[in-house]
């Protein structure tokens, strides 16, 4: 599917019906990675309409010449929400780079009813551990040298299962990345209105980090606690930046619990027991 926002064609995939869920993937991939991690959750929890856009310069959404910063990408996302969701309450899920953008959307959009972040990155690189492979029990036959290097540097748990997920959900997006376009956008990385400068977000939040994450680390996730009084924060061992794949069952369990907290919170809002 495609939504044209300010002249930019935004490609997205949609599943299900009900309360909208906007899920934003990380850098260097496309919607398939986060969709692959989330669809098993919503397969057993009905009543949600999941929207998975390709972010600019990735997948089938171009890094349009009008997009020169993350502020421009944020404006594009707000327009995408207006076009596809409108003024109804919706849930936000962001992975890595998508988490950075999702935090900003949550603080700017009055209908953002819940926020979940998986290995979120921030405005600046924080303290991160060195890349440490914990499990290596697979020989990635059939991968070219570049793909194997990508797999080895992304995953700290290298098994047949994680290799399969890499091949199905991560590797196919590499050829679709507009490196020059992303470099242009990322050259103005920091958002004009930083999420941490906004008022505290009042709705249910989930922040998941990998203990061995050498890209985003885990300490900065805990630092977000002051901004999210309704937040659950978990650091999962045996997982790096590929947490979505390396601890898939735990991630799905945490997300299912977060969804129930959002449902409960929205019921109170509708009943007038709590202001949004």
The mean of the pLDDT values for the chain is 95
What is the end-to-end Cα distance of the chain in Å, rounded? 31
Residue-level pLDDT at 275: 65
The rounded distance, in Å, linking the Cα atoms of 75 and 158 is 38
pLDDT digits (tens, 9 = 90+) for 2-46: 999 999 999 999 999 999 999 999 999 999 999 999 999 999 999
The rounded distance, in Å, linking the Cα atoms of 262 and 264 is 5
Q: Which CATH architecture has domain 2-126+175-271?
A: 3-Layer(aba) Sandwich (3.40)
Please say if the pLDDT value at position 198 is more than 70: no
pLDDT digits (tens, 9 = 90+) for 75-85: 999 999 999 99
Q: What are residue 51's DSSP bridge partners?
A: 14, 22
What is the DSSP track for 47-64?
SEEEEEEPPTTBTTB---
The rounded distance, in Å, linking the Cα atoms of 219 and 157 is 21
Please say if the pLDDT value at position 194 is more than 80: no
pTM of the model: 0.96
Q: H or E element: which one contains 115? A: strand 112-118
State the pLDDT confidence band at 69, using cuts at 50, 70 and 90.
Answer: very high
CB 237 within 8 A of CB 211: yes
CB 39 within 8 A of CB 50: yes
The rounded distance, in Å, linking the Cα atoms of 78 and 68 is 16
State the pLDDT confidence band at 276, using cuts at 50, 70 and 90.
Answer: low
């Amino acid at each position: 599917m495609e939504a044209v926002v300010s002249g930019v064609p935004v490609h997205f995939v949609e599943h299900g019906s009900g309360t909208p869920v906007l899920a934003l993937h990380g850098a260097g991939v496309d919607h398939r990675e986060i969709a692959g991690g989330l669809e098993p959750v919503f397969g057993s929890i009905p009543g949600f309409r999941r929207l998975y856009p390709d972010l600019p310069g990735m997948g089938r959404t171009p890094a349009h010449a009008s997009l020169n910063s993350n502020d421009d990408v944020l404006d594009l996302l707000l327009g995408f929400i207006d076009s596809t969701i409108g003024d109804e309450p919706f849930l936000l899920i962001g992975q890595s780079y998508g988490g950075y953008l999702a935090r900003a959307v949550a603080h700017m959009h009055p209908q953002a009813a819940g926020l979940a972040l998986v290995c979120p990155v921030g405005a600046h690189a924080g303290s991160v551990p060195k890349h440490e492979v914990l499990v290596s029990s697979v020989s990635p036959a059939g991968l070219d040298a570049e793909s194997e290097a990508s797999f080895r540097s992304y995953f700290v748990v290298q098994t047949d299962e994680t290799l399969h997920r890499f091949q199905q959900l991560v590797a196919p997006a590499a050829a679709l990345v507009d490196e020059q376009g992303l470099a242009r956008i990322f050259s103005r990385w920091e958002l004009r209105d930083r999420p941490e400068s906004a008022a505290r977000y009042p709705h249910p939040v989930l922040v998941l980090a990998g203990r061995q994450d050498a890209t985003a680390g885990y300490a900065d996730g805990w630092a977000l606690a002051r901004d999210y009084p309704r937040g659950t924060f978990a650091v999962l061992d045996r997982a790096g930046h590929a947490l979505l794949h390396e601890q898939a069952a735990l991630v799905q369990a945490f997300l299912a619990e977060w969804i129930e907290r959002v449902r409960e919170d929205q019921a109170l809002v509708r009943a007038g027991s709590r202001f949004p």
